[in-house]
Amino acid sequence: MLACGAANTAKLLLISASDEHPNGLANASDQVGRNYMFHNSQAVLALSHDENPTVFQKTLGLNDFYFAGKGHDYPLGNIQMVGKSQAPMYRGEKPVQTRLAPHWTLERIARHAVDFWLSTEDLPRPENRVTVDGDGKLTLAYTATNETPKKQLHKQLGSMLESLRMEPDHLFHRFAYMKNDIPVAGVAHQAGTCRMGSDPETSVVDRDCRAHEVDNLYVVDTSVFPSIGAVNPALTAMANSLRVGDHLLERLGARAEVASASV
Protein backbone atom coordinates (compact mmCIF):
# COMPACT_ATOMS: atom_id res chain seq x y z
CA MET A 1 0.00 0.00 0.00
CA LEU A 2 1.67 3.17 -1.21
CA ALA A 3 0.69 6.63 0.04
CA CYS A 4 3.65 9.02 -0.02
CA GLY A 5 2.03 12.00 -1.76
CA ALA A 6 1.92 12.69 -5.47
CA ALA A 7 5.57 13.66 -5.89
CA ASN A 8 7.19 11.02 -3.65
CA THR A 9 4.86 8.19 -4.62
CA ALA A 10 5.95 8.75 -8.22
CA LYS A 11 9.58 8.98 -7.14
CA LEU A 12 9.43 5.68 -5.24
CA LEU A 13 7.92 3.88 -8.22
CA LEU A 14 10.42 5.40 -10.66
CA ILE A 15 13.48 4.45 -8.60
CA SER A 16 12.11 0.91 -8.18
CA ALA A 17 13.07 -0.02 -11.73
CA SER A 18 14.14 -3.60 -12.40
CA ASP A 19 14.68 -5.94 -15.34
CA GLU A 20 10.96 -6.70 -15.26
CA HIS A 21 10.02 -3.03 -14.90
CA PRO A 22 12.78 -1.08 -16.70
CA ASN A 23 10.88 2.24 -16.71
CA GLY A 24 10.01 2.01 -13.04
CA LEU A 25 7.57 -0.11 -11.10
CA ALA A 26 4.06 -0.14 -12.63
CA ASN A 27 5.22 2.23 -15.38
CA ALA A 28 4.92 0.37 -18.67
CA SER A 29 2.43 3.06 -19.71
CA ASP A 30 5.02 5.81 -19.03
CA GLN A 31 2.34 7.58 -16.98
CA VAL A 32 4.02 7.43 -13.58
CA GLY A 33 4.98 10.97 -12.66
CA ARG A 34 2.91 12.58 -15.42
CA ASN A 35 -0.18 14.80 -15.10
CA TYR A 36 1.09 16.50 -11.96
CA MET A 37 -1.49 18.97 -10.65
CA PHE A 38 -1.74 21.40 -7.78
CA HIS A 39 -4.34 24.04 -7.16
CA ASN A 40 -4.12 27.42 -8.84
CA SER A 41 -4.30 29.38 -5.61
CA GLN A 42 -4.26 33.03 -4.68
CA ALA A 43 -4.09 34.56 -1.21
CA VAL A 44 -5.70 38.00 -1.15
CA LEU A 45 -6.75 40.47 1.49
CA ALA A 46 -9.57 43.00 1.58
CA LEU A 47 -10.07 45.84 4.03
CA SER A 48 -13.40 45.98 5.80
CA HIS A 49 -15.05 49.26 6.83
CA ASP A 50 -15.73 47.52 10.15
CA GLU A 51 -13.14 45.81 12.31
CA ASN A 52 -12.89 42.07 11.82
CA PRO A 53 -12.55 40.37 15.24
CA THR A 54 -12.80 36.85 13.79
CA VAL A 55 -10.37 34.32 15.25
CA PHE A 56 -11.19 31.07 13.42
CA GLN A 57 -11.69 32.73 10.06
CA LYS A 58 -10.85 29.72 7.86
CA THR A 59 -14.07 27.93 8.83
CA LEU A 60 -15.99 29.84 6.12
CA GLY A 61 -16.13 29.26 2.36
CA LEU A 62 -18.43 29.17 -0.64
CA ASN A 63 -18.74 27.27 -3.90
CA ASP A 64 -21.21 29.54 -5.69
CA PHE A 65 -18.81 29.90 -8.62
CA TYR A 66 -17.53 26.33 -8.62
CA PHE A 67 -19.49 25.31 -11.72
CA ALA A 68 -20.18 27.00 -15.03
CA GLY A 69 -23.07 29.44 -15.10
CA LYS A 70 -23.83 32.87 -13.68
CA GLY A 71 -22.41 34.43 -16.83
CA HIS A 72 -19.45 32.05 -17.20
CA ASP A 73 -19.12 29.21 -19.70
CA TYR A 74 -16.62 27.38 -17.51
CA PRO A 75 -16.10 26.70 -13.78
CA LEU A 76 -14.22 29.34 -11.81
CA GLY A 77 -13.48 27.65 -8.50
CA ASN A 78 -13.72 27.93 -4.75
CA ILE A 79 -13.57 30.98 -2.49
CA GLN A 80 -12.70 30.29 1.13
CA MET A 81 -11.27 32.21 4.02
CA VAL A 82 -7.68 31.81 5.13
CA GLY A 83 -6.21 32.21 8.61
CA LYS A 84 -6.56 35.73 10.00
CA SER A 85 -3.56 37.92 9.19
CA GLN A 86 -1.72 39.73 12.00
CA ALA A 87 0.58 42.74 11.93
CA PRO A 88 3.84 40.78 12.52
CA MET A 89 3.08 38.72 9.39
CA TYR A 90 3.38 41.84 7.25
CA ARG A 91 6.86 42.47 8.61
CA GLY A 92 7.87 38.88 7.94
CA GLU A 93 6.49 38.68 4.42
CA LYS A 94 7.69 42.08 3.18
CA PRO A 95 10.46 43.29 5.51
CA VAL A 96 11.89 45.79 3.01
CA GLN A 97 8.58 47.41 2.07
CA THR A 98 7.37 47.64 5.69
CA ARG A 99 10.58 48.72 7.42
CA LEU A 100 9.49 52.38 7.59
CA ALA A 101 5.84 51.71 8.43
CA PRO A 102 4.91 52.47 12.07
CA HIS A 103 3.69 49.36 13.84
CA TRP A 104 0.35 50.98 14.67
CA THR A 105 -0.45 51.32 10.96
CA LEU A 106 0.11 47.59 10.44
CA GLU A 107 -2.00 46.83 13.50
CA ARG A 108 -4.82 48.94 12.10
CA ILE A 109 -4.67 47.15 8.76
CA ALA A 110 -4.74 43.78 10.53
CA ARG A 111 -7.82 44.74 12.57
CA HIS A 112 -9.73 45.55 9.37
CA ALA A 113 -8.30 42.73 7.24
CA VAL A 114 -10.48 40.01 5.76
CA ASP A 115 -8.33 37.29 4.19
CA PHE A 116 -9.43 35.14 1.25
CA TRP A 117 -8.01 32.03 -0.42
CA LEU A 118 -9.05 31.45 -4.04
CA SER A 119 -8.63 28.02 -5.63
CA THR A 120 -9.09 27.23 -9.31
CA GLU A 121 -8.71 23.80 -10.88
CA ASP A 122 -5.32 22.90 -12.31
CA LEU A 123 -5.57 20.78 -15.47
CA PRO A 124 -3.73 17.47 -16.07
CA ARG A 125 -0.98 17.82 -18.69
CA PRO A 126 1.39 14.93 -19.47
CA GLU A 127 4.24 17.45 -19.72
CA ASN A 128 3.72 18.50 -16.08
CA ARG A 129 5.61 15.69 -14.50
CA VAL A 130 7.95 14.33 -11.86
CA THR A 131 11.18 12.71 -13.00
CA VAL A 132 14.07 11.15 -11.09
CA ASP A 133 17.71 10.97 -12.20
CA GLY A 134 20.24 8.22 -11.54
CA ASP A 135 21.14 9.71 -8.16
CA GLY A 136 17.52 9.75 -7.03
CA LYS A 137 17.15 13.52 -7.40
CA LEU A 138 13.54 14.50 -8.03
CA THR A 139 12.78 17.17 -10.62
CA LEU A 140 9.38 18.73 -11.28
CA ALA A 141 8.62 20.20 -14.70
CA TYR A 142 5.55 22.38 -14.47
CA THR A 143 3.74 24.95 -16.60
CA ALA A 144 0.67 26.70 -15.20
CA THR A 145 -2.74 25.92 -16.72
CA ASN A 146 -6.27 27.31 -16.61
CA GLU A 147 -5.20 30.92 -16.07
CA THR A 148 -8.39 32.53 -17.42
CA PRO A 149 -10.78 31.10 -14.77
CA LYS A 150 -8.20 32.00 -12.13
CA LYS A 151 -8.26 35.64 -13.20
CA GLN A 152 -12.04 35.64 -13.48
CA LEU A 153 -12.47 34.25 -9.96
CA HIS A 154 -10.28 37.04 -8.62
CA LYS A 155 -12.36 39.56 -10.58
CA GLN A 156 -15.59 38.01 -9.28
CA LEU A 157 -14.50 38.40 -5.67
CA GLY A 158 -13.44 41.98 -6.32
CA SER A 159 -16.87 42.82 -7.71
CA MET A 160 -18.51 41.62 -4.49
CA LEU A 161 -16.50 43.61 -1.98
CA GLU A 162 -18.67 46.72 -1.82
CA SER A 163 -21.73 44.59 -1.04
CA LEU A 164 -19.74 43.04 1.79
CA ARG A 165 -18.91 46.47 3.29
CA MET A 166 -15.34 46.29 2.12
CA GLU A 167 -13.32 48.68 0.01
CA PRO A 168 -14.70 48.20 -3.53
CA ASP A 169 -12.53 46.67 -6.24
CA HIS A 170 -9.39 46.49 -4.11
CA LEU A 171 -7.82 43.18 -3.17
CA PHE A 172 -4.47 43.45 -1.44
CA HIS A 173 -1.57 41.08 -1.06
CA ARG A 174 -1.41 41.78 2.63
CA PHE A 175 -0.69 45.49 2.36
CA ALA A 176 0.06 46.02 -1.35
CA TYR A 177 -2.40 46.53 -4.19
CA MET A 178 -1.74 43.17 -5.71
CA LYS A 179 -2.84 39.58 -5.40
CA ASN A 180 -0.45 36.93 -4.19
CA ASP A 181 -0.21 33.92 -6.50
CA ILE A 182 0.94 30.83 -4.66
CA PRO A 183 3.80 29.23 -6.65
CA VAL A 184 4.63 25.56 -6.88
CA ALA A 185 7.12 26.06 -4.02
CA GLY A 186 4.13 26.69 -1.75
CA VAL A 187 2.14 23.66 -2.87
CA ALA A 188 0.08 21.85 -0.25
CA HIS A 189 -2.37 20.03 -2.53
CA GLN A 190 -0.87 17.88 -5.27
CA ALA A 191 -2.28 15.08 -7.36
CA GLY A 192 -2.24 13.14 -10.60
CA THR A 193 1.09 11.34 -10.95
CA CYS A 194 -0.39 7.81 -10.76
CA ARG A 195 -3.75 8.50 -12.31
CA MET A 196 -6.65 6.08 -11.99
CA GLY A 197 -8.31 4.66 -15.11
CA SER A 198 -9.62 1.57 -16.88
CA ASP A 199 -7.06 1.64 -19.73
CA PRO A 200 -3.56 0.40 -18.75
CA GLU A 201 -2.14 2.37 -21.68
CA THR A 202 -3.19 5.73 -20.22
CA SER A 203 -3.31 5.13 -16.46
CA VAL A 204 -1.30 3.58 -13.64
CA VAL A 205 -3.94 2.05 -11.37
CA ASP A 206 -7.46 0.68 -11.91
CA ARG A 207 -10.67 1.88 -10.24
CA ASP A 208 -9.76 -0.02 -7.07
CA CYS A 209 -6.37 1.77 -7.03
CA ARG A 210 -4.50 -1.45 -7.81
CA ALA A 211 -1.53 -1.09 -10.17
CA HIS A 212 -2.38 -2.50 -13.59
CA GLU A 213 0.92 -4.39 -13.72
CA VAL A 214 1.45 -5.46 -10.11
CA ASP A 215 -1.30 -7.51 -8.50
CA ASN A 216 -0.42 -6.73 -4.88
CA LEU A 217 0.46 -3.02 -5.24
CA TYR A 218 -2.13 -0.37 -4.34
CA VAL A 219 -1.78 3.43 -4.37
CA VAL A 220 -4.20 5.32 -2.12
CA ASP A 221 -3.04 8.94 -1.95
CA THR A 222 -4.05 11.85 -4.17
CA SER A 223 -1.65 10.80 -6.92
CA VAL A 224 -4.45 8.57 -8.27
CA PHE A 225 -6.76 11.54 -8.92
CA PRO A 226 -7.41 12.00 -12.68
CA SER A 227 -8.42 15.60 -11.88
CA ILE A 228 -7.93 17.77 -8.82
CA GLY A 229 -11.05 19.93 -8.76
CA ALA A 230 -10.94 23.24 -6.91
CA VAL A 231 -11.51 22.29 -3.27
CA ASN A 232 -9.23 20.84 -0.62
CA PRO A 233 -8.70 17.15 -1.50
CA ALA A 234 -8.14 15.66 1.96
CA LEU A 235 -11.68 14.39 2.57
CA THR A 236 -11.83 12.83 -0.91
CA ALA A 237 -8.51 11.07 -0.27
CA MET A 238 -9.80 9.77 3.07
CA ALA A 239 -13.06 8.53 1.57
CA ASN A 240 -11.22 6.80 -1.26
CA SER A 241 -8.85 5.13 1.19
CA LEU A 242 -11.80 3.75 3.15
CA ARG A 243 -13.34 2.50 -0.10
CA VAL A 244 -10.11 0.74 -1.09
CA GLY A 245 -9.82 -0.66 2.43
CA ASP A 246 -13.24 -2.28 2.08
CA HIS A 247 -12.17 -3.72 -1.28
CA LEU A 248 -9.06 -5.22 0.28
CA LEU A 249 -11.02 -6.73 3.15
CA GLU A 250 -13.33 -8.40 0.64
CA ARG A 251 -10.40 -9.59 -1.45
CA LEU A 252 -8.46 -10.96 1.51
CA GLY A 253 -11.61 -12.56 2.88
CA ALA A 254 -12.23 -14.32 -0.42
CA ARG A 255 -8.64 -15.60 -0.46
CA ALA A 256 -8.95 -16.86 3.10
CA GLU A 257 -12.11 -18.77 2.17
CA VAL A 258 -10.36 -20.36 -0.81
CA ALA A 259 -7.37 -21.30 1.33
CA SER A 260 -9.62 -22.79 4.01
CA ALA A 261 -11.56 -24.81 1.44
CA SER A 262 -8.38 -26.21 -0.08
CA VAL A 263 -7.19 -27.36 3.33
Q: Is residue 1 part of a domain?
A: no
Same domain, 233 and 178: no
Same domain, 60 and 176: yes
Q: Is residue 178 part of a domain?
A: yes
Catalogue the E-assigned strands of 121-210. 129-132, 138-141, 180-181, 190-191
Q: Read off the pTM.
A: 0.84
What are the distances in angstroms from CA 135 to CA 6, 14, 15, 253?
A: 20, 12, 9, 41
Residue 103: the pLDDT is 66
Q: Is residue 126 part of a domain?
A: yes
Same domain, 50 and 160: yes
Where residue 82 falls among pLDDT bands split at 50, 70, 90? confident
Residue 164: the pLDDT is 83
**DSSP-assigned letter for residue 56:** S
Where residue 263 falls among pLDDT bands split at 50, 70, 90? low
Range of the domain at 223: 6-35+194-262
Same domain, 145 and 254: no
Rounded to the nearest angstrom, the gap between the alpha carbon of residue 243 and the centroid of all alpha carbons in its chain is: 21
In tens, the pLDDT along 101-134 reads: 666 677 888 888 899 999 999 999 999 999 999 8
Same domain, 177 and 202: no
In tens, the pLDDT along 19-65 reads: 999 999 999 999 999 999 999 888 888 888 889 888 888 888 899 99
Same domain, 28 and 46: no
Same domain, 44 and 173: yes
> Higher confidence at residue 149 or residue 165?
149
